[in-house]
Structure 1
Amino acid sequence: MKTLILGTIALALGTGGALAQDVVRMGTEGAYPPYNFLNDSGEVDGFERELGDELCTRAELTCEWVTNDWDSIIPNLVSGNYDTIMAGMSITDEREEVIAFTQNYTQPDPSAFVALDGMEPDLEGGVIAAQANTIQASWVAESGATLVEFATPDETIAAVRSGEADAVLADKAFLEPFVAEGADIVFFGDDVLIGRGIGLGLRQSDTELKDTFDAAIQSMKDDGSLNELLEKWEIGATF
Structure 2
Amino acid sequence: MKKLILSTAALAFTAGMAFAESHSVVRMGTEGAYPPWNFLNDAGEVDGFERELGDELCARAELTCEWVTNEWDSIIPNLVSGNYDVIIAGMSVTDERDEVIDFTQEYTPADPTSFLALSADVDPASGVIAAQTGTIQAGYIAEQGWMLVEFATPEETIAAVRGGEADAVFADKSFLVGAMEGQTDLVMLEQEVMIGGGVGMGIRESDTELRDKFDAAITSMKEDGSLNALITKWEVASTF
TM-score by length of 2: 0.89
Q: Which runs of 5+ in 1 are unaligned?
A: 1-17
1:178 Cα offset (Å): 2.1
Distance in 2, matches of 1:56 and 1:178, equals: 29
Q: CA deviation at 1:22?
A: 1.0
The SS at the match of 2:134 is: coil
Q: 1:101: Cα distance to partner?
A: 1.0
Equivalence map 1:160-175=2 (5 Å): 160-175=161-176
- Partners in 1 of 2:55 and 2:165 — Cα distance? 39
The 5-angstrom pairing of residues 86-165 of structure 1 reads 86-117=88-119, 120-165=121-166
**1:20 Cα deviation from its structure 2 partner:** 5.7
SS at match of 1:189: strand
Q: Distance in 1 between matches of 2:38 and 2:178?
A: 14
1:160 aligned counterpart, secondary structure: helix
CA distance in 1, matches of 2:95, 2:23: 28
Give per-residue Cα distances to partners, 1:93-139, cap 9 Å, x unaligned: 11111111111111110110011135x32312321110111111111
Letter in 1 for 2:53: L
Check whether the contact 2:128–2:146 (CA below 8 A) recurs between aligned residues: yes
Q: Which residue of 2 aligns with 1:66?
A: 68
Q: 2:14 corresponds to which residue? A: none
Over the matched positions of the two proteins, sequence identity in percent amounts to 69
* Cα separation, 1, equivalents of 2:104 and 2:195: 18
Q: Counterparts in 2 of 1:11-26, with a 5 A limit? A: 21-26=23-28
Alpha-carbon distance in 1 for matches of 2:56, 2:179: 29
Q: Would you say the 8 A contact 1:125–1:144 is kept in 2?
A: no
Coordinate RMSD, CA, aligned: 1.4
Q: Across the two proteins, how many residue pairs are aligned to each other? A: 221
Amino acid at match of 2:95: D
Whole-Å separation in 2 of the counterparts to 1:213 and 1:60: 10
Contact 1:116 1:160 in 2 (8 A): yes
Q: Partner letter of residue 226 of structure 1?
A: L
Which consecutive residues of structure 2, in runs of 5 or more, have no partner in the other structure? Answer: 1-19
CA contact (8 A) 2:38 2:46 kept: yes
TM-score, reference length from structure 1 = 0.89
Q: Say which is worse superposed, 225-234 or 171-180, in terms of deviation.
A: 171-180
1:79 alignment partner, one of 70, 78, 81: 81
| Aligned partner of residue 89 in structure 2, secondary structure | coil
Q: Secondary structure at the match of 1:105?
A: strand
Question: How far is 1:206 from its partner?
Answer: 1.0
**Residue type matched to 2:184 in 1?**
A
Report the secondary structure of 1:102's partner residue: strand
1:7-36 per-position Cα deviation (integer Å, ceiling 9, x unaligned): xxxxxxxxxxx9961110000011111011
CA shift, 1:219, in A, is 0.7
Aligned counterpart, 2:222: 221
Distance 1:121 1:27 in 2: 36
Comparing 47-56 and 18-27, the one that deviates more = 18-27
SS class of match (1:124): coil
In 2, Cα distance between equivalents of 1:20 and 1:211:
17
Bigger radius of gyration: 1
Counterparts of 1:124 and 1:155, CA distance in 2: 21
**CA deviation vs aligned residue, 1:30-87 (integer Å, no higher than 9, x gap):** 1111011111111111100000000000000010000111111111001000000011
CA distance in 2, matches of 1:122, 1:144: 14
Q: Could you list the structure 1 runs, at least 4 aligned residues long, displaced by more than 4 angstroms after superposition.
A: none
